[in-house]
Structure 1
Amino acid sequence: MIERRIKVDLAATIDRSPAVALLGPRQVGKTTLAQEIARMRPSLYLDLESEADRARLAEPELYLAGHEDKLVILDEVHRAPNLFQILRGVIDRGRRKGLRSGRFLLLGSASIELLRQSGESLAGRISYLEMRPLDALEIPEAQIERLWARGGFPDSFLAKSDALSQRWRQDFIRTYLERDVPMLGPRIPAETLRRFWTMLAHHQAGLHNAAELARSIGVDGKTIATWLDLLVDMLLVRRLEPWHSNSGKRLVKSPRIYVRDSGLVHSLLGLATIDDILGHPVVGASWEGFVIETLIAAAPEGTQAHFYRTSAGAEIDLLLTLPGGKRWAIEIKRSLTPKVERGFHHACADLEPQRRVVIYPGREPFPLGHGIEAMPLVLLGQQLVAQH
Structure 2
Amino acid sequence: MIPRESKMRVERLLARAPAVVLTGPRQVGKTTLALEIADKGGAAYLDLERPSDRARLVDIDAYCERNSGRLVILDEIQRVPDLFEPLRGVIDRRRRDGRRTGDFLLLGSASIDLLRQSGETLAGRVAYCEMQPLNVREVGHANVDDLWHRGGFPESLQAADDEASFEWRFDFIHTYLERDIPALGPRIPSETLRRFWTMLAHNQGQTFNAAVLAKSLGLSGVTVGRYLDLMVDLLLVRRLVSWHGNLGRRLVKAPKTYLRDSGVCHALLGIESLDALLGHPVVGGSWEGFVIENILSGLPAHASCGYYRTVGGAEIDLVLATRGRETWAVEIKRSTAPKVSRGFHSACEDLQPARKLVVYPGRESFPLGRDIEAIPLKRICEELAP
Greater than 4 Å deviation, 4+ residue runs: none
Residue 236 of structure 1, CA deviation: 0.3
Residue in 2 that maps onto 1:20 = 20
1:197 aligns to 2:197 (yes or no): yes
Residue in 1 that maps onto 2:30 = 30
Kept after mapping to 2: 8 A contact 1:185/1:230: no
1:46 aligns to 2:51 (yes or no): no
Aligned pairs (5 A) from 1:111-150:
111-150=111-150
Distance 1:246 1:375 in 2: 29
Kept after mapping to 2: 8 A contact 1:150/1:166: yes
1:331 aligns to 2:331 (yes or no): yes
Kept after mapping to 2: 8 A contact 1:81/1:113: no
SS in 1 for 2:325: coil
Residue in 2 that maps onto 1:90 = 90
| Superposed CA offset, 1:124-181 (max 9, x none) | 1111100000011110211100000000000000000100000000100011111111
Residue 42 of structure 1, CA deviation: 3.0
Residue 270 of structure 1, CA deviation: 0.3
Q: Give the TM-score normalised by structure 2.
A: 0.99
| Superposed CA offset, 1:212-265 (max 9, x none) | 000000000000011000000000000000011222100111000001000011
Residue in 2 that maps onto 1:375 = 375
Residue in 2 that maps onto 1:251 = 251
Residue 46 of structure 1, CA deviation: 0.5
Residue 301 of structure 1, CA deviation: 2.4
Residue in 1 that maps onto 2:81 = 81
* Identical aligned residues as a percent: 59
Q: CA RMSD in A?
A: 0.9
Residue in 2 that maps onto 1:67 = 67
Distance 1:49 1:184 in 2: 13
Residue in 1 that maps onto 2:261 = 261
| Superposed CA offset, 1:46-83 (max 9, x none) | 11111211111121111112112100000011111110
Kept after mapping to 2: 8 A contact 1:243/1:306: yes
Kept after mapping to 2: 8 A contact 1:287/1:334: yes
Distance 1:212 1:185 in 2: 26
Kept after mapping to 2: 8 A contact 1:315/1:343: yes
Residue 362 of structure 1, CA deviation: 0.8
Distance 1:218 1:331 in 2: 36
The residue type equivalent to 2:83 in the other structure is: L
Residue in 1 that maps onto 2:294 = 294
SS in 2 for 1:324: helix
Distance 1:5 1:64 in 2: 29
The residue type equivalent to 1:257 in the other structure is: T
Which stretches in structure 2 are left out of the alignment for 5+ residues?
A: none
Residue in 1 that maps onto 2:167 = 167
The residue type equivalent to 1:336 in the other structure is: T
Distance 2:251 2:185 in 1: 33
Tell me which moved more, 258-267 or 105-114. Answer: 105-114
Aligned pairs (5 A) from 1:210-225:
210-225=210-225
Kept after mapping to 2: 8 A contact 1:113/1:184: no
Residue 40 of structure 1, CA deviation: 2.4
Distance 1:174 1:39 in 2: 32
Q: Give the TM-score normalised by structure 1.
A: 0.98
Distance 1:127 1:309 in 2: 35
The residue type equivalent to 1:274 in the other structure is: L
The residue type equivalent to 1:170 in the other structure is: F
Residue in 2 that maps onto 1:230 = 230
Distance 1:18 1:340 in 2: 48
The residue type equivalent to 1:173 in the other structure is: I
Residue 324 of structure 1, CA deviation: 2.4
Which stretches in structure 1 are left out of the alignment for 5+ residues?
A: none
Tell me which moved more, 350-359 or 243-252. Answer: 243-252
